[in-house]
A and B are shown apart, each in its own frame.
Chain A
Amino acid sequence: MNVVVIITIVCVLLMILASYFAIKTEDLVSAVIASSVVSLMASVLFLILHAPDVAMTEAAIGAGLSTVVFLIAIRKTERFEKDEEQ
């Protein structure tokens, strides 16, 4: 088995697990950090698919600016998602 194949499968699995955790959890800060893990794994996958420009852009924007913008918005609103039944 090639090393690249192992890294690809690990990245895809981590991406799916992190996105599932980001949707399911109630703490919004944990969800934002999980979505930045999704962006990081996507950046590595872009590099494996031979697209270095796009990998650089996704690493700079997805794992940097997007997370900060979400955290600023959470700071001004509520942190926990209250799922109340009616």
Chain B
Amino acid sequence: MKALIMNTHYIVFAGILMLMVIGLFGALTKRNLIKILIALGILDTGINLFFIAIGYVTGKTAPIFSKQGLSSGNMVDPVPQALVLTAIVIGVAVLALGLSIVIRVYEHYGTLNVSKIKKMRG
């Protein structure tokens, strides 16, 4: 049973890395501006998941003293959770800023294709 739970941790790691690979591939290859931003959002989710998965310790529980007698030796790592909490909010704010720039680019050039915009240039 312990071996299966240890393998589950590695399965979760492999899945998260696959998510990051798909997000990065989409951001490097696609031509549409909004599709590039969607891929960057998926990459962002994958990186936050990777952080939390590193901080997980097998068999321990959430870092909140909800009852009186809980000991602090039975808790997972709380520092990655505090870092990811702010990273998620900043991610969505920067994505909204990028989308506002995309709206302006569409109003100016008339297309959202990166190759065509590179040819037009002004």
Q: Which A residues are within 8 Å of any B CB, using their own CB? A: 1-2, 5, 8-9, 12-13, 15-16, 19-20, 22-23, 28, 31-32, 35, 38-39, 42, 45-46, 49-54, 57-58, 61-62, 65-66, 69-70, 72-74, 76-78, 81-84, 86
Main secondary structure of the interface of A (DSSP, over half): helix
B8 touches A51 (CB 8 A): no
User: Which parts of B15-45 form the interface with A (CB within 8 Å)?
Assistant: 15-16, 18-19, 22-23, 25-26, 30-32, 34-35, 37-39, 41-42, 45
Cα(A52)–Cα(B89), bound, Å: 16
When the two chains form their complex, are residues A77 and B12 in contact, meaning their CB atoms are under 8 A apart? no
Cβ contacts under 8 Å, B25 to chain A: 23
Q: In terms of DSSP, what is the predominant structure of the interface of chain B?
A: helix
Q: Say yes or no: B53 contacts A49, CB within 8 Å.
A: yes
Chain B interfacial residues counted at CB < 8 A: 53
Among residues of B, the one whose C-beta sits closest to the C-beta of A55 is: B52
A54 contacts B84, CB within 8 Å? yes
CA distance A37 to B26 in the complex (A): 17
Q: Is the CB of B12 within 8 A of A12?
A: yes
Asked if residues A69 and B88 are in contact (CB atoms below 8 Å), the reply is no
B41 to chain A, nearest CB (A): 6
In addition to A50-B76, A65-B92, 14 A-B residue pairs with Cβ atoms within 8 Å of each other are A1-B4, A13-B15, A16-B22, A19-B23, A31-B38, A35-B42, A42-B48, A45-B12, A45-B49, A49-B53, A57-B89, A82-B113, A84-B113, A86-B115
Could you give 26 example pairs across A and B, Cβ below 8 Å?
A: A5-B5, A9-B8, A9-B11, A12-B11, A16-B19, A19-B19, A22-B26, A22-B39, A22-B42, A42-B45, A49-B52, A50-B76, A51-B62, A52-B62, A54-B81, A57-B85, A57-B89, A58-B45, A66-B41, A66-B92, A69-B92, A69-B99, A70-B99, A72-B99, A74-B34, A84-B113
